[in-house]
Amino acid sequence: MGFQFVLLIPILGISVGLVAVIGGVFVKPWLAHREKQMELEAKMIAEKAAQYAAHTSSLEQRVRVLERIVTDRGIDVADEIEKLRDQPPLN
């Protein structure tokens, strides 16, 4: 029984070494590939965020214009809205 145990130790050492080599050969390139994928995704997300920010800025400008129109002509707009309520739908 002692002889079998002595043979088992080098076999375990070789197995651990093979796992480490195989892991380095396959896992390391996969991790590098995954890192590149994540970098590309981060760039795409940043671009979308910039597009949303530009769109939001555009919408904010339009709202400012509408607010100015309403506050400058508030009474006239209210009268126009009331007139539209009295008209039948355009179907």
User: Rounded to two decimals, what is the model's pTM?
Assistant: 0.48
| Domain chopping of the chain, boundaries | 16-86
At 28-81, the pLDDT tens digits run 888 899 999 999 999 999 999 999 999 998 889 888 887 777 777 666 777 777
Q: Is the pLDDT of residue 13 over 70?
A: yes
Q: Is 1 helix (H, G, I), strand (E, B) or coil?
A: coil
Q: Residue 87 gets which letter from DSSP?
A: S
Task: Say if CB 69 and CB 77 are below 8 A apart.
Answer: yes
Q: What is the pLDDT of residue 36?
A: 97
Q: What is the pLDDT of residue 3?
A: 55
